[in-house]
Amino acid sequence: MSEQIQKRIRALEKELDHHNYLYYVADAPIISDREFDELMKELENLEKEYPQYRDSNSPTQRVGGEVIRSFRTVLHRIPMQSLSNSYSREEIDEFIARIEKQTGVFPEFTSELKYDGVAISIIYEGGVFSRAVTRGNGVEGDDVSANVRTIRSLPLKLQGENHPSVLEIRGEIILSRRAFERLNQKMRELGEAPYANPRNTASGTLKMQDSSVVAERKLECMFYHVLGNTDLPDSHSARFEMLREWGFRVPDLAENRISVSRSTDEIMEFIDYWAQTRFELDFDIDGIVIKVNSERLRQEIGATAKSPRWAIAYKYQAEQAETRLNSITFQVGRTGAITPVAELEPVLLAGTTVKRASLFNADYIEELDLRPKDLVIVEKGGEIIPKVTGVNIEQRVQSSVAFEYINACPDCGTDLIRKEGEAVHYCPNEVECPPQVIGRIQHFVSKKAMNIENLGDEKVERFYELGLIRDIADIYDLTHAKLQGLDGFKEKSINKLLQGIESSKSVSFARVLFALGIRHVGEVVAQRLVEAFQNIDQLMGASIEELESTPEIGSVIARSLNSYFARSENVERIKALKNKGLNFEVEVRVNSESQVLESKTFVVSGVFEKFERDELKEIIAKHGGKVVASVSGNTDYLLTGSKVGPSKLAKAEKLGIELLSEEEFIKMAGL
């Protein structure tokens, strides 16, 4: 039986890897998302029931879940060099002439897209993903394997045959424009300032401590170089074809993402084509890379200490325009974050008319020394978000004076605050500042939160102005009598709205917690919190130390939660919502397998070898035990793995609570 189970797990892994490749690399899926999800669910269930057969590179591991407290520094086998840059045909001619003089031939060249991402080196051993390391300083970088493993377009096990025993391949981690825009939409929903560009966002994502958040952001990986290996074809273009057979996403001749050139004219033709067409891509490029195609010739040509002599980058100038900065205005987000905005004379840029551009924060304005009526240089950061990048000082009006950043909220007049270590100013008047109150209500009723139908952003603003809703709890006081007679509200629309409000009372605790709009508490964080704290009272009573010991909850989120629950108006709001019937606890449904742990109370903390933390909690519940979030005098056991929460450990030792290792627990539960 166990052999059949193991075979089924391996078969599912292989099938899911194949469908991943077809969907994310070949763009030719052959099954529906639902069918894929059913296969994945079957594999997840088998791995939970038979953890001894789970593979570290299983398709189920792409969702992340590992929390990295620090990234290990790793020495590169071969240094990761950077490319020399060029900006003209003359410089390309000089590059080719140097090679021709050294080798005595005009070699074949490849031209390919220069991805605007984060350089990465990935090693496979025996055809299986082993390690991913950032460029770092070129000599050593950070091991980000747990995060890179979540990238769906990356093969964790190579397809095909005849793989080298060790394969090192290099490429760029990128964030597509669609994924970037989805992420920024989420930031706006959270009331936070949007990210500036895909490249920096990809870089920051790759260094996140929580791999499950990395998985949600949908990074991609594009490959462009295989380190010298005598078992592979000599030509760079032929190596790409072999890599494609092994499951990698590499440039395709058929799509003109790479070309083989035998003259400068052919190289420049490729450069000129992508200068015009690059805006149609769903990811950013900032130039073209020209390389000698032959690996043998590359070895002969060699490299300097910093760059290979056989390759050069042709860099595109970012599309820019000059226009007048009429004024600087300020927007207030629902969390009170203040975003300065450049109000511009309309100007055509990268195919669209730009009238406004984000200025990010006070430091950015000061660094550029921006002043109203300046002639400013505007470009599209990552070809998406317009941004002001410079000032034409020579055209500055002599009478202009340095811009002074506002010190009071433009909407309510409250003095702004700027927290230590943060670049953004905030309005602290959460209770009465109109944009914050309206934004908080709009977030609360949104689809991913309470999903109250027929109560969109415009209606929220209107109800606020009429005094019908001044806080989220007021939504549940709306009645037929209050809405009757309002312009645009007839019997059918009133009933539909009231039904939507009533239906929202069945929304899960996790979504209610997300809907509250606590700063830094997005959908994923809310889910993790309700997994650790079974009801709102446990969560409100948790100390900063207890919050920080919760998986994926760092000090910033812990302090934000602690600060939110310390405010009396927030406590009263939660009390009012509880009285209205909203769900503030986890509904536990467990099919009990035995009562061997009956009446025993456990706290689970740390990283375990054989089980995930959530699996252990599920096992405890199935065998009659109870799991709580924090250690108290009523706790029977602290089930400890490595990196156990120090506050939990100290409290358990102080109270004389028995410490239980994973092995001891397995014996106790009879597993």
Predicted local distance difference test score (pLDDT) of residue 64? 59
Structural domain for 658, as ranges: 601-669
* Number of other residues whose CB lies within 10 A of the CB of residue 5: 14
Q: How many residues does the chain have?
A: 671
Strand partners, 327: 343
Is the whole model's pTM more than 0.75, yes or no? no
Nearest of 139, 159, 157 to residue 149 by alpha carbon: 157
Q: How far apart are CA 25 and CA 158, in angstroms?
A: 13
Within this chain, do residues 302 and 326 fall inside the same structural domain, yes or no? no
Residues of 578-587 as b/e, b for ≥16 C-beta within 10 angstroms?
A: beeebbbbee
Within this chain, do residues 181 and 135 fall inside the same structural domain, yes or no? yes
Within this chain, do residues 552 and 539 fall inside the same structural domain, yes or no? yes
Residues 413, 517, 199, 74, Cα dihedral to 10°: 120
For the domain that residue 654 is a member of, what is the CATH number? Answer: 3.40.50.10190
Predicted local distance difference test score (pLDDT) of residue 123? 95
- To the query of whether residue 207 is one of the catalytic residues in this protein, the response is no
Within this chain, do residues 106 and 198 fall inside the same structural domain, yes or no? yes
Residue with tokens 């203040």, as numbered in its chain = 338
Predicted local distance difference test score (pLDDT) of residue 448? 84
Within this chain, do residues 86 and 35 fall inside the same structural domain, yes or no? no
Q: 585 in a domain, yes or no?
A: no
DSSP character string of 223-234: EEEE---TTS-S
Question: Which DSSP symbol is given to 504?
Answer: G
Residue with tokens 């600087």, as numbered in its chain = 328
Q: How far apart are CA 457 and CA 483, in angstroms?
A: 17
Predicted local distance difference test score (pLDDT) of residue 50? 86
Within this chain, do residues 308 and 322 fall inside the same structural domain, yes or no? no
Q: 273 in a domain, yes or no?
A: no
Q: 398 in a domain, yes or no?
A: yes
Predicted local distance difference test score (pLDDT) of residue 383? 47
Predicted local distance difference test score (pLDDT) of residue 167? 92
Q: Which residues in the chain come in under a pLDDT of 70?
A: 1, 24-27, 63-69, 196, 228-230, 350-351, 381-385, 551-552, 587-593
Q: 352 in a domain, yes or no?
A: yes
Within this chain, do residues 154 and 298 fall inside the same structural domain, yes or no? yes
For the domain that residue 307 is a member of, what is the CATH number? Answer: 3.30.470.30
Evaluate the CA torsion angle 212, 214, 220, 221 in order and state its sign. negative
pLDDT digits (tens, 9 = 90+) for 52-94: 888 878 888 776 556 566 788 888 988 898 898 898 899 999 9
Kindly report each contact of residues 24-32 with a partner whose C-beta sits within 8 Å and lies 24 or more positions away, as own/partner: 24/152, 24/153, 24/220, 24/249, 25/153, 25/247, 25/248, 25/249
For the domain that residue 42 is a member of, what is the CATH number? Answer: 1.10.287.610
Nearest of 349, 278, 280, 345 to residue 316 by alpha carbon: 278
DSSP character string of 97-145: HHHHHHHSS---EEEEEEE-SEEEEEEEETTEEEEEEE-TTSSEEEB-H
Nearest of 538, 668, 658 to residue 616 by alpha carbon: 668
What lies within 8 Å, CB to CB, of 202 at 6+ separation is: 117, 118, 173, 174, 175, 219
Within this chain, do residues 300 and 184 fall inside the same structural domain, yes or no? yes
The answer to whether 536 and 574 are in contact (CB under 8 A) is: yes
Within this chain, do residues 518 and 606 fall inside the same structural domain, yes or no? no
Among 7, 101, 114, 490, the active-site one is 114
Within this chain, do residues 179 and 253 fall inside the same structural domain, yes or no? yes
Domain count along the chain: 6
Q: How far apart are CA 527 and CA 553, in angstroms?
A: 11
Q: 596 in a domain, yes or no?
A: no
Within this chain, do residues 157 and 289 fall inside the same structural domain, yes or no? yes
